[in-house]
């Protein structure tokens, strides 16, 4: 059959290898596209689920990343001391010289470094230290004590002081951009949740656009009351109205958020001093940005001299600041650091404990803070229900997902490891070993991709279901199999625990929970 002339359009298609325009191609089914593209699109869905299971409600301890560089250098100095059986005066002097360099590199103020090194040298160079059984440990203890003293000592109350007749006024001061407004919201949430106080938030910042609206939104998120905005009022009038409302409506605490400036000037100081004289606050908290280094110390010194502050709140301690401002703040200003802001979320606020911070710097960990954080985040009622189910040998993937969610609330895996003793020394090895820090989020995404029936009955998961779950969670079938294997081992252990009971567990120990023929270590 004779064929007509080939059209230019068809000829072009032949030359291009039949690469037709997308408008002429039949739409590709979503399932086929899913198998062709791989896990790119599902991975985005998995990331959304990860945020729900892990990061969305995470409160975890910051681990104070700003002290990591100083901690690694000091630990290197002390490791060299530990390798020596006996210490001479020259050894101690050389070690203190390295400590001095490490502190200066961490941006600690020079007068503070001189004073700290002098105190350590006075205590360390003595017969009782050099001739002791473990001289290196004695030197480390002396350095630890000196760091605690520089950070503020162990005496005195931590956090916000509320020991005053209600309503207790808290005046928030600082430069613009240091985080005063966000910190005010954090303190309000903390007082409402932990101390069960009735809190009123009032913005006195009439200079920055939308500053009062920002505090109003933070009050809504913290579920506390904000002072109604009246246009045209001066800061002093707003402060007087806030105190009057607090007295009449029986508020426990009033948080007054003042205006800031890009730099310290006389107008700022005069305005803050006028507000302080009118409201007579019990606490005057200066908010400083840890990222500004020694500028934060200079700012604190100026506010202390001209206005007088009762405490300091350091924000952005979860950044890459070198930590020198924290070590210099108390010695230069005389005011204690009371709180640390470790993130943008309203619950990212910690009490400042000098002894615990010193322990983190020297690689001793901070188990106390980790336990406190776990106690705050873990739901006691849910934990008791889960324990009862475990005793009966009933453990499903829903229970496993609930446990992953609880761990996610405590914080990231890196933050938790940073609170454990000795982990700082292993940091290089852990990084070299490619530690999978996202395994909990990935496992939570896998479980969330299952149907409720599959979570209750994991035996239903055959090859086709596993492929669907892997595609939906942005993982691989191997990841799904690995999760199921871990769950099977945990379920078997729970069943053995319910069979042998508490007495059998005490007699047999850990070996009683393992399968026959397997050793615990």
Give the model confidence (pLDDT) of 245-274 as tens digits. 999 999 999 999 999 888 888 888 999 999
Q: Are residues 61 and 415 in contact, defined by beta-carbon separation less than 8 angstroms? A: yes
pLDDT confidence tier of residue 34, bands split at 50, 70 and 90: very low
pLDDT at position 47 over 50: no
Q: Are residues 289 and 312 in contact, defined by beta-carbon separation less than 8 angstroms? A: no
Counted residue by residue, the chain has a size of: 521
Lowest mean pLDDT among 50-64, 199-213, 362-376, 380-394: 50-64
pLDDT at position 70 over 90: no
Tell me which residue of 460, 493, 461 sits closest to 477, measured CA to CA: 461
pLDDT at position 45 over 60: no
Question: Ranked by mean pLDDT, which of 302-311, 340-349, 361-370 comes out on top?
Answer: 302-311
Q: Taking residues 346-372, what's their average pLDDT?
A: 76
Integer angstrom CA distances of residue 132 from 340, 383, 438 = 38, 48, 45
pLDDT higher at 230 or 425:
230
pLDDT at position 496 over 80: no
Q: Quick one: DSSP state of residue 422?
A: T
pLDDT at position 86 over 80: no
Residue 456's pLDDT is: 86
Nearest-10 Cα torsion for 49, 54, 56, 57 = 140
Residue 55's pLDDT is: 39
| pLDDT > 90: percent of the chain | 29
Q: Taking residues 372-397, what's their average pLDDT?
A: 70
Residue 335's pLDDT is: 87
Residue 427's pLDDT is: 58
Q: Are residues 226 and 214 in contact, defined by beta-carbon separation less than 8 angstroms? A: no
Mean per-residue pLDDT over the chain, rounded: 77
Q: Taking residues 466-482, what's their average pLDDT?
A: 92
Residue 420's pLDDT is: 63
Residue 367's pLDDT is: 59
CA separation for the pair 237, 240 (Å, rounded)? 5
Question: What kind of fold does domain 65-151 have according to CATH?
Answer: 1.20.120
Question: Ranked by mean pLDDT, which of 2-6, 28-32, 385-389 comes out on top?
Answer: 385-389
Give the model confidence (pLDDT) of 118-167 as tens digits. 888 888 776 556 555 577 777 888 888 888 888 887 765 578 999 999 89
Kindly state the tokens that stand for 161: 């002081």
CA separation for the pair 57, 406 (Å, rounded)? 9
Tell me which residue of 66, 120, 72 sits closest to 329, measured CA to CA: 66
Q: Quick one: DSSP state of residue 343?
A: S
pLDDT confidence tier of residue 1, bands split at 50, 70 and 90: very low
Number of Cα atoms under 13 Å in the Cβ half of residue 417: 15
Enumerate the CATH 1.10.260.30 domain ranges in the chain, comma separated: 377-513
CA separation for the pair 355, 57 (Å, rounded)? 28
User: DSSP string of 207-252?
Assistant: SSTTHHHHHHHHHHHHT-EEPPP-TT--HHHHHHHHHHHHHHTT-S
Q: Are residues 329 and 335 in contact, defined by beta-carbon separation less than 8 angstroms? A: yes
Q: In 69-203, which ranges are E strands? A: 168-173, 199-203
What is the CATH code for 168-371? 3.40.50.300
pLDDT at position 50 over 60: no
pTM (2 decimals)? Answer: 0.65
Assign 403 to helix, strand or coil: helix
CA separation for the pair 363, 379 (Å, rounded)? 30
Enumerate the CATH 1.20.120.140 domain ranges in the chain, comma separated: 65-151
Which CATH number is 377-513's, of 3.40.50.300, 1.10.260.30, 2.170.150.20, 3.40.50.1370?
A: 1.10.260.30
Residue 521's pLDDT is: 37
Residue 87's pLDDT is: 73
pLDDT at position 481 over 90: yes
């Amino acid at each position: 059959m004779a064929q007509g002339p080939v059209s230019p359009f068809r000829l072009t298609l032949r030359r291009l290898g039949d690469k037709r325009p997308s408008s002429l191609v039949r739409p590709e089914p979503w399932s086929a596209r899913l198998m062709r593209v791989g896990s790119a699109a599902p991975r985005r869905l998995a990331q959304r689920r990860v945020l729900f299971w892990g990061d969305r409600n995470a409160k975890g301890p910051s681990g104070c990343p700003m002290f990591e560089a100083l901690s690694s250098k000091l630990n290197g100095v002390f490791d060299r001391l530990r390798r020596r059986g006996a210490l001479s005066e020259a050894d101690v002097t050389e070690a203190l010289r390295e400590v001095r360099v490490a502190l200066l590199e961490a941006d600690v103020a020079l007068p503070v470094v001189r004073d700290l090194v002098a105190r350590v040298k006075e205590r360390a160079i003595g017969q009782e230290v050099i001739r002791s059984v473990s001289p290196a440990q004695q030197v480390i203890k002396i350095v630890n004590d000196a760091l605690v003293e520089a950070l503020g000592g162990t005496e005195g109350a931590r956090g916000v002081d509320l020991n005053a007749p209600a309503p207790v006024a808290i005046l928030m001061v600082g430069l613009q951009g240091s985080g005063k407004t966000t910190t005010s919201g954090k303190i309000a949430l903390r007082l409402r949740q932990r101390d069960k106080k009735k809190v009123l938030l009032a913005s006195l910042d009439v200079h920055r656009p939308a500053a009062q609206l920002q505090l109003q939104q933070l009050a809504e998120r913290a579920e506390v009351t904000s002072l109604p905005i009246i246009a045209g009022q001066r800061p002093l009038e707003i402060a007087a109205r806030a105190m009057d409302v607090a007295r009449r409506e029986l508020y426990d605490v009033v948080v007054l958020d003042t205006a800031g400036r890009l730099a310290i000037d006389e107008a700022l100081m005069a305005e803050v001093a006028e507000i302080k004289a009118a409201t007579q606050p019990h606490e005057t908290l200066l908010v400083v940005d840890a990222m500004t280094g020694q500028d934060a110390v200079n700012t604190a010194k100026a506010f202390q001299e001209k206005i007088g502050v009762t405490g300091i709140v350091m924000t952005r301690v979860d950044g890459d600041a070198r930590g020198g401002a924290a070590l210099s703040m108390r010695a230069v200003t005389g005011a204690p650091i009371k709180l640390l802001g470790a993130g943008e979320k309203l619950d990212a606020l910690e009490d400042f404990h000098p002894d615990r911070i010193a322990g983190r710097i020297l690689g001793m960990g901070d188990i106390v803070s980790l336990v406190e954080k776990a106690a705050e985040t873990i739901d006691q009622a849910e934990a008791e229900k889960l324990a009862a189910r475990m005793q009966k040998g009933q453990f499903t993937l829903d229970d496993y997902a609930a446990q992953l969610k609880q761990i996610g609330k405590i914080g990231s895996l890196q933050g938790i490891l940073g609170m454990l003793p000795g982990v700082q020394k292993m940091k290089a090895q852990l990084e070299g070993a490619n530690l999978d820090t996202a395994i909990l989020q990935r496992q939570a995404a896998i479980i969330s991709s299952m149907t409720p029936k599959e979570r209750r009955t994991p035996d239903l998961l055959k090859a086709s279901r596993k492929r669907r779950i892997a595609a939906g969670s942005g993982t691989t079938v191997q990841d799904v199999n690995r999760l199921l294997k871990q769950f099977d081992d945990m379920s078997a252990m729970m069943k053995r625990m319910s069979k042998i009971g508490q007495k059998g567990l005490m007699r047999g120990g850990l070996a009683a929970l393992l399968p026959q023929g397997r050793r615990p270590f």
